[in-house]
Structure 1
Amino acid sequence: MAKVSFDESYQLYRRIFTAYLSKYWRKFSISLVAMAVAAATEPAFARLMKPLIDKGFTDQDKTAMILTPLAVMGIFFIRGAASYVNETTSTWLSGTVVEQMRQQMFNKLLRMPVAYYDNHNSGRMISRILFDVTQITDAGFNVITVTVKDGLTIIGLLGLLFYTDWQLTLFCFFTMPFVLVLVRILAKRLRKLNKNNQEQYGEMTQVVTEAVSGQKVVKLFDGYSYETSRFTDFASSIKKNNVRQSGTSSLNSGLSQFLFAMALSCILYFATSRSQASGFTAGDFVSFITAMIMIAQPMKRITNVTQSLQRGLASAESVFEFLDEKEEADDGHAELETITGNISIQNMSFKYPVAEDMALKNISVEIRAGETVALVGSSGSGKTTLANMIPRFYSPTTGVITLDNQDLETIALKSLRKHIALVSQEVVLFNDSVYNNIAYGSNSNFTKEDVYNAAKLANALEFIEQLPNGFDTDIGENGTRLSGGQKQRLAIARALLKNAPILVLDEATSALDNQSEKLVQEALDRLMSNRTTLVIAHRLSTIQHADKIIVMDKGQIIEVGKHDELLANNGHYANLYNIQFRNNGV
């Protein structure tokens, strides 16, 4: 892991504090004060050993024999209370920062361009939100704790050691490395946290995964608010659970130390009633040894803070690099309340950012309102890329696409996409009820009757009513509890409910059995009626009645016409059709 320079470290943590922590400065101040109080109890406890031993063992002072053990108990009680306040406030602060950063990153993720999803691993996108953010706060608050609490503890204990015997203190520093090695070995057992959060993390991963895989549906059906709401619920739940865990753990630790102090106080009380010392007093000796033992742990943490800091800074770089990415360009301001659906593509070419060659080359085509236009060609010919240009998942490298004589680039994305519906071969459904999958995003504004009618028109009502809870039945991850035909009909119902004048259709019947195909095709025919429809055709038998068939090859349009015309031309389309006819017996 590459180290981050001091200036970079300062800028990264300055950004964290100014952007996320500054508004909570009161809680942060309380946490720092609690750290300082907890740190002060360390040398105070070691110093109490001197009056306890000298006055108790040597002078047999009854008052000291009673008050000093009580003072030890008081110190540990104060330490436990201060640690509880520190841990609880620190966890609340770190949890709040995690929640805010995750929320910001998730909102950013939903608004990234399609090209970003194409070029980045989905697992890495998810891990940034789920784990990198946690590492930032863990490392950040660990550094603060070590710097303030452990730093003050070391200063206090060193002051006590030098005050007690400066020569012996200098001598003991030669043995300190051996003590630290021993402490490091013993401290390896102290790493068990956050088991109760596994389920919440799993649920949140589910939401993020669905948002990534279904990002086109989120965009077209304006599901930003819905996805944000789902994500917020789980993020907030994780924060609350972390605070409870930390508070309980800190309380248990404080009580354990307090009980140990009570036992230790009893031992010290009975020991002082039987012993005496002279010269360098026994109290000085015990106080010195106690301080030496107590300084080992904070010094160990000081030596480890650099590794923790670098890990947190590396995560911070990753997170802020993502947050600084450019969102999906939306420079258009035109709002289209209604459209007729005339699409014109003029001399349009497109190249993917990481590709060497053009994916689309000099495309020109006119699509009249209400027409069904099929895109035909072999795999990699550019059919899907061309279809993706209509809802502006990508923007042309050169050329212009217009909708009702309005350049797509000048139309606000939300306004453009509310007029477009998508049904793809790979159906995107969410781990939710049947009803919420149909009434998704902007569709939630429709009435229950509208949803019912859309399901009926999509030939989905029959199987929905047979489900255990009807429209309220949860369908599982991406509709795992439904058949392929049932999933397709839900997607069609969603598009029917939206009632958009433009339909992008990635042929949805190629992987279905005959009965399911018939039901889905009937629903598609209803969906396509009186709409401008762009069909990405895989089986040529399904688009024979299209108003226009565009044949593509290597990113170019090589033939345009109706089915019979293209067969008569005996060109590329006729060759593709004859191959399918021979293979499938059409």
Structure 2
Amino acid sequence: MIPNQEVASLALYRRVMGYLRPHWKVFAVSLLTMTIAAATEPLFARLMKPLIDGGFVDRDPAAIIWTPLAIVGLFLVRGVASFINEYSSSWLSGHLVQSLREEMFARMLRLPVNYYDHHPSGRILSRVAFDVTQVSEAGFNVITVTVKDGITVIGLLGLLLYTDWKLTLICLAVMPAVSFCVRFVSRRLRGLSRKNQQDMAQLTQVLSESIDCQRVVKIYGGEAYEATRFGRAAEAIRHNLVKERSTSAASTGVTQLIIACALAVILYYAGVQAQAGHFSAGDFMSFLTAMLMLFAPIKRITSISQTVQKGLAAAESVFSFLDEQGEADHGRVRLQAPKGELVFERVSFTYPGAERLALDGVELSVRAGETVALVGSSGSGKTTLTSLIPRFYEPDGGRILLDGIPLTEISLASLRANIALVSQDVVLFNDSVAANIAYGRIGEVSLDEVREAARAANALEFIEAMPQGFDTMIGENGTRLSGGQRQRLAIARAILKNSPILILDEATSALDTQSERLVQSALERLMQGRTTLVVAHRLSTIENADRIVVMHQGQVAEAGRHQELLAQDGIYKTLHRLQYQAGGEQG
């Protein structure tokens, strides 16, 4: 009965090796050269017999000449074979890591938003950057040691059996003890490797957060706190690494002690055999050389257990990530010039782990080309409702239709191609201004189109004042720009996309009063003929909307135009009065 862990390990190996199948020719060359290099070990030991018996005992001149030349030729073959093997092995390992990283990144892009809500970014980064390199160790590098040293051990044992089978049996007698030691250590190393991955993910998380939130850290004096968090993570990695190394060292030491005891017994019996005349000096030297040469490959094979367990633990992590379910995309409908009519039919949604519904039976119809503003207190469901349109989340109940077609029947690519989004949290990339505005359409639009989008978003003036204009690099998430400038670039990106559906989630929140007026007028021109949903806290920005929908506790509480809602003396009027009493324009 094979233990479950070994079955899982074999399955992992088969999966890892599947990535090397397209490069089977290089793999075959590597195995061939590996075998040639391994075969030179027992051949060298065998050459000791003619060298000693012929050169030193019988004093044969021919043996004195050809044996050294044979040794030189043997090592020449070994050197060439080893070089080809090392080169092909590193080439294959590099391709394995590259293939896994590319597949993981592609999977990461297809994961649903909900996955990122529940998994820290540090763990994801650690998997792609750190765990993958460990998989390569469990992949081809382990095979290199196992095959090459395995062939060497088999060849040397064959030579030992040929020279004296009785002495060789003593060598084989210690194998069960060595095997038991290796198996025991392997289980412990696998657990320690899993712990190391978790600790490395924590370290990466702290590091990532300290970089992303460095302004908050500085202003609130969090340096000592972050240093303590980082120190704890680094200490956990160090402590675990010491455990790994000590376990591996103990395993190697015990294994070598067992082998040394066997060697002592062998040397004793070999001496007895030599005294009885059953062993020539050449036989003894050949046997002793082969025996001593067994140490290095056996040590590598026993030591490889640590690498194997690290790699297998990393493979578990990598493949569990690759096996994560991507976004459900069963839609087959591809939209052709959609009008933009949206209908919400009793839509309900709950965030995992939340105590109450974020949306509770929402009924709402948005006509094509209509501008609908969503207002309400924080947590009322405004942003959640707009997040369901591009299917960042799937509703728990009810359905949403676009031009009469359920969103689930529309392919994600086609659906999102017809939606533009500008959120309160502006996302920009460490690229040029032009690349950020044309994001997703680079190479499809001209610089003139990018320039016009920037002009419409009131961004052209500050862009042209930059050192390289549209080619200026803006830094990570636009750190070299002001908040208003970042927001205007995001608006320019939405303008350039020219989608029939617009989602504006506090799109003007980071603008000063002058820029807000200019951008607001540009947005109003852009919204003409397009279905637009505007999430707003400042009511002054949505007074001219075709319809204002008031959300309260996940439901539509009121709906109508600005003046109509004020006349109803309901939630909207209360919000309006409170905002202006507090100085609404600050709001």
Length-normalised TM-score, structure 2: 0.76
Deviations, residues 508-531 of structure 1 (Å, cap 9, x unaligned): 332344444445434433433332
Q: CA deviation at 1:172?
A: 7.1
SS of the counterpart of 1:332? coil
Q: 1:344: which partner in 2?
A: 343
- Mark the CA change 1:174 to 1:516 in structure 2 (over 3 Å): closer, same or farther: farther
Gaps of 5+ in 2: 180-203, 213-274
Q: CA deviation at 1:421?
A: 0.5
Q: 1:576: which partner in 2?
A: 575
Deviations, residues 487-541 of structure 1 (Å, cap 9, x unaligned): 1111111111111121001113323444444454344334333322111112223
Q: 1:432: which partner in 2?
A: 431
Q: Is 39-48 or 155-164 further displaced after alignment? A: 155-164
Q: 2:444: which partner in 1?
A: 445
Q: 2:477: which partner in 1?
A: 478
Alignment partners' CA distance in 2, 1:418 and 1:176: 64
Alignment partners' CA distance in 1, 2:574 and 2:58: 111
Q: 2:6: which partner in 1?
A: 6
Alignment partners' CA distance in 2, 1:308 and 1:572: 64
Q: Is 326-335 or 566-575 further displaced after alignment? A: 566-575
Q: CA deviation at 1:178?
A: 13
Q: What amino acid maps onto 2:69 in structure 1?
A: L
Alignment partners' CA distance in 2, 1:444 and 1:493: 17
Alignment partners' CA distance in 1, 2:287 and 2:362: 85
Identical columns (%): 61
Alignment partners' CA distance in 1, 2:345 and 2:126: 42
Deviations, residues 239-293 of structure 1 (Å, cap 9, x unaligned): xxxxxxxxxxxxxxxxxxxxxxxxxxxxxxxxxxxxxx99755444443343233
Alignment partners' CA distance in 2, 1:563 and 1:301: 78
Q: 2:326: which partner in 1?
A: 327
Q: What amino acid maps onto 1:46 in structure 2?
A: A
Alignment partners' CA distance in 2, 1:442 and 1:79: 54
Q: Is 307-316 or 457-466 further displaced after alignment? A: 307-316
Conserved in 2, the CA contact under 8 Å of 1:488 and 1:520?
no
Conserved in 1, the CA contact under 8 Å of 2:107 and 2:322?
yes
Matches within 5 A, 1:513-552: 513-552=512-551
Alignment partners' CA distance in 2, 1:70 and 1:538: 89
Alignment partners' CA distance in 1, 2:467 and 2:169: 77
Alignment partners' CA distance in 2, 1:307 and 1:59: 48
Q: 1:194: which partner in 2?
A: none
Q: 2:290: which partner in 1?
A: 291
- Mark the CA change 1:111 to 1:585 in structure 2 (over 3 Å): closer, same or farther: closer
SS of the counterpart of 2:47? helix
SS of the counterpart of 1:441? coil
Deviations, residues 538-583 of structure 1 (Å, cap 9, x unaligned): 2223222222222222212222233333334343333333333343
Q: 1:393: which partner in 2?
A: 392
Alignment partners' CA distance in 2, 1:153 and 1:582: 87
SS of the counterpart of 1:369? coil
Q: 1:114: which partner in 2?
A: 113
Q: Give yes or no for the alignment of 1:47 onto 2:46.
A: yes
Conserved in 2, the CA contact under 8 Å of 1:346 and 1:363?
yes
Q: CA deviation at 1:387?
A: 0.4
Q: What amino acid maps onto 1:48 in structure 2?
A: L
Deviations, residues 201-249 of structure 1 (Å, cap 9, x unaligned): xxxx9xxx9xxx9xxxxxxxxxxxxxxxxxxxxxxxxxxxxxxxxxxxx
Conserved in 2, the CA contact under 8 Å of 1:457 and 1:526?
no
Q: CA deviation at 1:165?
A: 4.5
Deviations, residues 142-164 of structure 1 (Å, cap 9, x unaligned): 33223311111111222333444
SS of the counterpart of 2:20? helix
Q: CA deviation at 1:122?
A: 2.3
Q: What amino acid maps onto 2:139 in structure 1?
A: G
Alignment partners' CA distance in 1, 2:468 and 2:176: 67
Matches within 5 A, 1:365-444: 365-442=364-441, 444=443
Q: 1:37: which partner in 2?
A: 36
Q: Is 496-505 or 8-17 further displaced after alignment? A: 8-17
Q: What amino acid maps onto 1:423 in structure 2?
A: V
Q: What amino acid maps onto 2:496 in structure 1?
A: L
Q: 1:141: which partner in 2?
A: 140
Q: 2:96: which partner in 1?
A: 97
- Mark the CA change 1:558 to 1:333 in structure 2 (over 3 Å): closer, same or farther: same
Alignment partners' CA distance in 2, 1:520 and 1:281: 98
SS of the counterpart of 2:582? helix
Q: CA deviation at 1:435?
A: 1.5
- Mark the CA change 1:448 to 1:278 in structure 2 (over 3 Å): closer, same or farther: farther
Conserved in 1, the CA contact under 8 Å of 2:89 and 2:144?
no
Conserved in 1, the CA contact under 8 Å of 2:422 and 2:491?
yes
- Mark the CA change 1:578 to 1:4 in structure 2 (over 3 Å): closer, same or farther: farther
Q: What amino acid maps onto 2:96 in structure 1?
A: V
Q: What amino acid maps onto 2:101 in structure 1?
A: R
Q: What amino acid maps onto 2:388 in structure 1?
A: M
- Mark the CA change 1:502 to 1:179 in structure 2 (over 3 Å): closer, same or farther: closer
Matches within 5 A, 1:103-182: 103-166=102-165
Q: What amino acid maps onto 1:469 in structure 2?
A: Q
Q: CA deviation at 1:135?
A: 2.0
Q: Give yes or no for the alignment of 1:558 onto 2:531.
A: no
Q: What amino acid maps onto 1:156 in structure 2?
A: G
Alignment partners' CA distance in 1, 2:49 and 2:177: 26
Deviations, residues 310-360 of structure 1 (Å, cap 9, x unaligned): 333333333333333332222222222112222221211122345453221
Alignment partners' CA distance in 2, 1:4 and 1:356: 39
Q: What amino acid maps onto 2:582 in structure 1?
A: N
SS of the counterpart of 1:75? helix
Q: What amino acid maps onto 1:6 in structure 2?
A: E
Q: CA deviation at 1:414?
A: 2.0
Alignment partners' CA distance in 1, 2:157 and 2:584: 90
Conserved in 2, the CA contact under 8 Å of 1:34 and 1:83?
yes
Alignment partners' CA distance in 1, 2:289 and 2:173: 17
Conserved in 1, the CA contact under 8 Å of 2:19 and 2:99?
yes
- Mark the CA change 1:474 to 1:66 in structure 2 (over 3 Å): closer, same or farther: farther
- Mark the CA change 1:458 to 1:505 in structure 2 (over 3 Å): closer, same or farther: same
Q: Is 355-364 or 312-321 further displaced after alignment? A: 312-321
Alignment partners' CA distance in 2, 1:11 and 1:420: 43
- Count of residue pairs the alignment pairs up: 490
Conserved in 2, the CA contact under 8 Å of 1:373 and 1:534?
yes
Matches within 5 A, 1:164-243: 164-166=163-165
Q: What amino acid maps onto 2:5 in structure 1?
A: S
Q: CA deviation at 1:294?
A: 2.1
SS of the counterpart of 1:399? strand
Q: 1:500: which partner in 2?
A: 499
Q: Is 341-350 or 518-527 further displaced after alignment? A: 518-527
- Mark the CA change 1:56 to 1:421 in structure 2 (over 3 Å): closer, same or farther: same
- Mark the CA change 1:517 to 1:71 in structure 2 (over 3 Å): closer, same or farther: farther
Q: What amino acid maps onto 2:447 in structure 1?
A: K
Alignment partners' CA distance in 1, 2:153 and 2:284: 19
Q: CA deviation at 1:429?
A: 1.4
RMSD of aligned alpha carbons: 3.1
Conserved in 1, the CA contact under 8 Å of 2:20 and 2:92?
yes
Conserved in 2, the CA contact under 8 Å of 1:98 and 1:133?
yes
Alignment partners' CA distance in 1, 2:520 and 2:164: 92
SS of the counterpart of 1:297? helix
SS of the counterpart of 2:71? helix
- Mark the CA change 1:108 to 1:176 in structure 2 (over 3 Å): closer, same or farther: closer
- Mark the CA change 1:171 to 1:348 in structure 2 (over 3 Å): closer, same or farther: closer
Q: 1:16: which partner in 2?
A: 16
Q: 1:192: which partner in 2?
A: none
Q: What amino acid maps onto 1:438 in structure 2?
A: I
Conserved in 2, the CA contact under 8 Å of 1:509 and 1:520?
yes
Q: What amino acid maps onto 2:375 in structure 1?
A: V
